[in-house]
Structure 1
Amino acid sequence: MLLPGAHMVCHVLLLETDNGLALVDSGYGLKDIADPVHRVGPVRRLTKPVLDPEETAARQIERLGFRREDVRHIVITHFDLDHIGGIADFPDAQIHVTSAEAFGAIHSPSWREKLRYRPAQWAHGPKVVEHEPGGETWHGFAAAKQLDAIDPGIVLIPLPGHTRGHACVAVDTGRGWLLHCGDAFYHHGTLDGRSRVPGVLRVQETLIAYDLRKVRENHARLAELHRRAESNVTIINAHDPHLYAKMRA
């Protein structure tokens, strides 16, 4: 996404489990590319997504030798359009989301939520599985929900702020934890405190936050977790090209 002043990636995470493939977020999908006016809307004028069909999760999964039907579960951090557009490419997959996010996006959105979400992206009637608060703590985060139906090593961690029901997803890689934070933060400078966060990202994060106080609290909690080397947690998000490049390497 070629946001003026801060180019961003928009990536997802593919997991190979004993129960088939699972995705964390789905990114933009093939239908978004075919009909960006209806499905992406005017925000595309600001974020300037490349919208290349070869970059979609569907096409990349096929290039790995899998079928789209092999994706049985998609865990969504939140319902913003650049995170769920691709769910239509996997109509048989179960879509896992916090109940708070489903309430704010599908069941009873406020006027502000109606402005940010694009119902056309789930008009195909996906199999949405809502997860209520509850569960055990995970590295100091309360109410972490183990997603045993997918794999015992996948944990849904509610972290509202960016949206009403935003969540992070922790994955046990066997060598430590990988924490996919979605849009809980935008830039690695939020974690390390050394790199400058571009002004355009600070402004965007402030303007679209459902609860800015919680966003800032989340920043502090994630930065503290990042500093704790003994936690053995690698933190990524959905949009930082620096963190994305480190993970690819």
Structure 2
Amino acid sequence: MTLPPNRVWRLRLRGVNAYLVDADVLTLVDAGTPWDAKRIRSRLEDVGFEASDIERVLLTHFDLDHVGALADLGPDLDATVHVADPDGQFLTGTAQPPMTNHKGALQRLLGAFLTRPDLPVEVVEDGDEVGPFEAVRTPGHTPGHTSFLHEGFDVAFAGDVVREIDGELKPTSWVMCYDAGQNRRSVGRLADRALRLDVVAPGHGNPLRGEAGDSLRRLADRL
């Protein structure tokens, strides 16, 4: 699926989405599972690119299905990864997800399937501008979960703060969150920041077009 303005592509992977954005530099938003590298490379070729063309990777959070293919996209990938801590520390291995949290314990177990990428990592903070993208901290699903807004393209890359089910946005279930209450508050925070944008691009489910901020606001008001 190509999203307006025909420079944003949804990459359908194994139960999860990544997004390719032809912005100031070619940008990959999230990176699928460890078994998705071949599919990502193929989709890149379909739209006229190679992995070596990617100069920036934006990670909404550290989960196996969002960071898994980074290490296997090819030796020519020379991109800088932008991610918020502590998820960035989980990615680099300088810290481990906590076993005292049910979601953290799951991340630790699934970490056995992860090959850590040998790429430079830059930590993003709330409100940082990464090229034309704005970072919006939306914790709860993970402690460092961050959404990325591209106002010029009218897209909110929401990661797993919400998901699309049967044409509607839903919050990620409590069992997949570090803190479900914090995640619900993050829905409202993202709605406030994405109010004027047209498309919500979630990590799971279909992107929703048309008044993305309103859709997020209606969901936040119900929570």
Q: So what's the TM-score if we normalise by structure 1?
A: 0.64
Q: In the alignment, which of 76, 93, 97 is matched to residue 83 of structure 2?
A: 97
Paired residues of 2:124 and 2:135 also in contact (CA < 8 A): no
Other-structure match for 1:236: 201
Paired residues of 1:188 and 1:243 also in contact (CA < 8 A): no
Other-structure match for 1:26: 31
Q: How does 1:1-249 map to 2 (within 5 A)?
A: 9-19=15-25, 21-29=26-34, 32=35, 53=38, 56-88=39-71, 89-90=73-74, 91-105=77-91, 106-108=93-95, 109-111=97-99, 112=101, 113-117=104-108, 118-119=110-111, 123-133=115-125, 143-147=126-130, 151=131, 153-173=132-152, 177-187=154-164, 195=168, 205-223=173-191, 228=195, 231-241=196-206, 243=208
Q: Could you tell me how far apart the structure 1 residues matched to 2:160 and 2:116 are?
A: 25
Paired residues of 2:156 and 2:201 also in contact (CA < 8 A): yes
> Residues 72 and 110 (structure 1 numbering): CA distance in 2 closer, same or farther, change over 3 Å?
same
Count the aligned residue pairs: 189
Paired residues of 1:161 and 1:215 also in contact (CA < 8 A): yes
Q: So what's the TM-score if we normalise by structure 2?
A: 0.70
Q: CA deviation at 1:28?
A: 2.7
Paired residues of 1:11 and 1:238 also in contact (CA < 8 A): yes
> Residues 225 and 170 (structure 1 numbering): CA distance in 2 closer, same or farther, change over 3 Å?
closer
Paired residues of 2:141 and 2:160 also in contact (CA < 8 A): yes
Q: Secondary structure at the match of 1:187?
A: strand
Paired residues of 1:12 and 1:23 also in contact (CA < 8 A): yes
Q: Could you tell me how far apart the structure 2 residues matched to 1:146 and 1:26 are?
A: 20
Q: CA deviation at 1:172?
A: 3.0
Paired residues of 1:161 and 1:184 also in contact (CA < 8 A): yes
Could you list the runs of 5+ residues in structure 1 that have no partner in the other structure?
1-7, 35-52, 134-142
State the structure with more CA Rg.
1
Greater helix percent: which structure? 1
Q: Could you tell me how far apart the structure 2 residues matched to 1:60 and 1:116 are?
A: 27
Paired residues of 2:148 and 2:156 also in contact (CA < 8 A): yes
Q: Could you tell me how far apart the structure 2 residues matched to 1:59 and 1:196 are?
A: 29
Could you list the runs of 5+ residues in structure 2 that have no partner in the other structure?
1-13, 213-223
Other-structure match for 1:37: none
> Residues 182 and 71 (structure 1 numbering): CA distance in 2 closer, same or farther, change over 3 Å?
same
1:10 is matched by which residue type in structure 2? V
1:216 is matched by which residue type in structure 2? R
Paired residues of 2:135 and 2:146 also in contact (CA < 8 A): yes
Percent of counterpart pairs with the same letter?
Answer: 24
What value does the CA root-mean-square deviation take over the aligned residues?
A: 3.2
